[in-house]
Amino acid sequence: MNNCSDLGFCGFCQFCLELVSHSFDDIRQKCVQLSLNMFINKLKPPIKHMLCFVLYYSGALSLLLKLLTKFRKSHLAVILFYHRFSKSTPNPFQLPHLDINDFEKQLLHIKQHYQVITMNDLAYILNERQSFARPCVALTIDDGYANNYELAYPILKKLEVPATIYLTTGFVGTSRALWVDDLMDILSNTKKQSLRFAKLLGEEVIDISTPFKKRKTVSRFFRHMFHLPHETKLQTIIDLREILWDANAHHCDPQRKMLNWLEVIEMNSDLICFGAHTVTHPTLRRMDLLKAQLEIKDSKRALESKLGNEVFHFAIPNGKIDDFSNDLKQYCKEIGLKTVVSTEPGAVSAQSDPHFLPRILPPPPIHMFAFDLAKNVFFNSKNNIAI
Ligand SMILES: [Zn+2]
């Protein structure tokens, strides 16, 4: 029998076919996953791109997905998470957006090769400790940006793909947005040429005279602010706005960034489910426990009173393991939340903890997305993250 493990996993040789058809699950961890992951992780990005391109457009990946789906005995689920969508290539002062055409391609690929499930389906499967009969994908969108309604919703409706949107309820129907959006707006709109911000960056005078230099400064501020307590972050934004205020500049982005309640109520259906994502999007672990609990409960309640139905799902702001705690997890269970999603990477198995589920950020373009999704659904062993 030829062994293709030096090449990773071709999916076509006798070795790979036997692996798929017989004791795949037993051998997988020892061989396929190791060799595939080692092989892929060692590849330089351009080579990885090229390999994914060839696998996707030759139809080889599609064939491999069909074989794996047919012959594997048990499967995993992956929860994808999105944020913002755009119609064209984003400008350098937009936070990462997914082009809506890429989104549509991703949905078509998911529909062709995976079973799309809702967060309610996922909660039921995990609660009943059932296994996944097919490789499954659940779609989630965080924060509640207005472009979810304008751009993503029509495509989700057209392709009949369900999704869960996690709302930061304090921003719905207001001109407020996340602190990262404010940071980007302030720097991109200022006409000032330099900036000194001793509180965070010492006495250095930072040149912000060009779009490139402004973008670099945004990244610097982002890195320094990310782990600050929520109140300090908000105060930093207020101070920065004051320093860079210029009577001749446009200081607000004319476009409303977040969803309003009419849009939320219109979308709330069998297709679109809403989950809570706190009131003000703070880092929960860096707050007093009672305040953090209120952030969760109040966002759940606000949604329930506007929508007229119970809310069972919650997404942790920022979503990393350090952003949550066992106390908060226990509290989520007590107030009736059936699932809590993180942004820790991984796949979901029947053994996964429903109150700290991993998610995957989908990368464009489509050939990278298709490969990355397959890698996570079929070869991801990280499916039970302990908090
Ligand atoms: Zn968020």
Q: How far is the CA of 279 from the centre of ligand 1 (A)?
A: 11
Q: How far is the CA of 108 from the centre of ligand 1 (A)?
A: 26
Question: One digit per residue, pLDDT tens: the chain, 387 residues?
Answer: 344 443 344 444 444 444 444 444 444 554 555 566 666 666 667 788 888 999 999 999 999 999 999 888 889 999 999 999 998 766 666 777 899 999 999 999 999 999 999 999 999 999 998 889 999 999 999 999 999 999 999 999 999 999 999 999 999 998 888 999 889 888 888 888 999 998 888 889 999 998 889 888 999 999 999 888 888 999 999 999 889 876 555 555 556 889 999 999 999 999 999 999 999 999 999 899 999 999 999 999 999 999 999 999 999 999 999 999 999 999 999 999 999 999 999 999 999 999 999 999 998 899 999 999 999 998 876 656 666
- At residue 33, the pLDDT reads 56
- At residue 255, the pLDDT reads 67
- At residue 245, the pLDDT reads 75
Q: How far is the CA of 166 from the centre of ligand 1 (A)?
A: 8
Q: How far is the CA of 60 from the centre of ligand 1 (A)?
A: 36
Query: Is there a contact between 165 and 138 (Cβ–Cβ < 8 Å)?
Result: no
- At residue 121, the pLDDT reads 97
How far is the CA of 45 from the CAs of 40, 48, 123, 285, 347, in angstroms?
9, 5, 36, 35, 23
d(CA 255, CA 282): 24
Query: Is there a contact between 387 and 356 (Cβ–Cβ < 8 Å)?
Result: yes
- At residue 7, the pLDDT reads 38
Q: How far is the CA of 317 from the centre of ligand 1 (A)?
A: 5
d(CA 119, CA 122): 5
For 173-218, give the DSSP string: TSS---HHHHHHHHHHH---SEE--HHHHTTPPEE--SHHHHHHHH
Q: How far is the CA of 324 from the centre of ligand 1 (A)?
A: 13
Residue 164's H or E segment, with its range, is strand 163-167
Q: How far is the CA of 316 from the centre of ligand 1 (A)?
A: 7
Q: How far is the CA of 283 from the centre of ligand 1 (A)?
A: 10
Q: How far is the CA of 319 from the centre of ligand 1 (A)?
A: 8
- At residue 239, the pLDDT reads 92
Q: How far is the CA of 113 from the centre of ligand 1 (A)?
A: 28
- At residue 45, the pLDDT reads 76
Residue 329's H or E segment, with its range, is helix 326-334
Q: How far is the CA of 178 from the centre of ligand 1 (A)?
A: 8
Q: How far is the CA of 369 from the centre of ligand 1 (A)?
A: 22
Query: Is there a contact between 342 and 350 (Cβ–Cβ < 8 Å)?
Result: no
Query: Is there a contact between 283 and 246 (Cβ–Cβ < 8 Å)?
Result: no
Q: How far is the CA of 96 from the centre of ligand 1 (A)?
A: 13
Q: How far is the CA of 257 from the centre of ligand 1 (A)?
A: 14
